[in-house]
């Protein structure tokens, strides 16, 4: 039996995982990013997808931007923070070129380009702070991805498949889940590509 993580330990876990991933060397970062990109490249899920949500890595997150160079026939989109009153992320087309605008968390965003409703993406590669084998995800704590993909809750097979992307060290024993959490359909790390049971 794997040990469960108590709800009260979430903040501490977030701090610990963010520190651990930031402390990876540049060399480890590159190796993990390349290995995970290769894992994804082999997956029929990625091969079949046309419209793919990706992210601009920050704070030691796994860097899988090589996918854009490898799959020039696919359309990639970056998350754009919502403006009140709408609480969901939008996804804007990105061709891989440098970006100058940064949002309030200092994460680069494209300022022009087609945006696509999150429902119309085929696959979303989701950044995360920690994950477990069942597809539970701990994020930065603002609930953006959960709110954006809340429409999947009553219909888990609808919309895009959500695949977490992380370093293997971000894998933990069972995370506590909340009613609003949207489970991941899988997770990719430098060590492999796991499909999860719950989604």
Ligand X SMILES: Nc1ncnc2c1ncn2[C@@H]1O[C@H](COP(=O)(O)OP(=O)(O)OP(=O)(O)O)[C@@H](O)[C@H]1O
Query: Long-range contact list for 149-156, CB < 8 A, 24+ apart?
Result: 149/118, 149/124, 149/182, 150/180, 150/182, 151/119, 152/182, 153/180, 153/182, 156/183, 156/199
**Number of residues forming the site for ligand FFO (CB under 6 A):** 14
Contacted entry of ligand FFO, ligand X, none for residue 58, CB cut-off 5 to 8 Å set by kind: ligand FFO
The structure tokens listed for 19 are 């520190």
**How far apart, in whole angstroms, are the C-alpha atoms of residue 189 and residue 170?**
9
When the beta carbons of 77 and 145 are compared against ligand X, the nearer one is 145
Half-sphere exposure of 38 (CA within 13 A, CB side): 8
Q: Cβ of residue 31: shortest distance to ligand FFO, in angstroms?
A: 19
Contacted entry of ligand X, ligand FFO, none for residue 56, CB cut-off 5 to 8 Å set by kind: ligand FFO
Q: Cβ of residue 33: shortest distance to ligand FFO, in angstroms?
A: 13
Beta-carbon neighbour count of residue 57 at 10 Å?
Answer: 17
81 binds ligand X (CB under 6 A): no
Of 63, 84, 66, the closest CA to residue 74 belongs to: 66
**Site residues (CB under 6 A) for ligand X, limited to 143-162:** 143-147, 150
Q: By CB under 6 A, name the one of 20, 24, 57, 66 that touches ligand FFO.
A: 57
When the beta carbons of 127 and 183 are compared against ligand FFO, the nearer one is 127
Contact 159, 118 (CB under 8 A): yes
The DSSP call for residue 112 is: S
Contacting residues toward ligand X, per CB under 6 A: 138-147, 150, 178, 180-181
Contacting residues toward ligand FFO, per CB under 6 A: 55-58, 61, 79, 105, 107, 127, 139-140, 142, 144-145
């Amino acid at each position: 039996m794997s040990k469960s993580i108590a709800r009260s330990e979430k903040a501490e876990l977030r701090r610990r995982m963010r520190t651990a991933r930031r402390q990876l060397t540049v060399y480890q970062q590159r190796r993990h990013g390349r290995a995970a990109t290769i894992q994804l490249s082999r997956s029929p899920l990625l091969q079949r997808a046309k419209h793919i949500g990706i992210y601009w890595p920050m704070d030691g997150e796994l860097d899988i931007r090589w996918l854009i160079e490898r799959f020039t026939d696919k359309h990639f989109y970056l998350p754009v923070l919502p403006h009140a009153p709408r609480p969901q992320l939008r996804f804007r087309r990105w061709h891989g070129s440098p970006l100058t605008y940064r949002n309030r968390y200092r994460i680069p965003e494209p300022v022009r380009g087609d945006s696509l409703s999150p429902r119309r993406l085929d696959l979303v590669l989701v950044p995360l702070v920690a994950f477990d084998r069942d597809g539970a995800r701990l994020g930065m704590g603002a609930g953006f991805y959960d709110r954006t993909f809340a429409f999947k809750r009553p219909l888990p097979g609808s919309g895009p498949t959500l695949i977490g992307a992380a370093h293997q060290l971000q894998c933990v024993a069972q995370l506590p889940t909340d009613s609003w959490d949207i489970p991941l359909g899988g997770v990719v790390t430098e060590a492999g590509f796991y499909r999860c049971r719950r989604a």
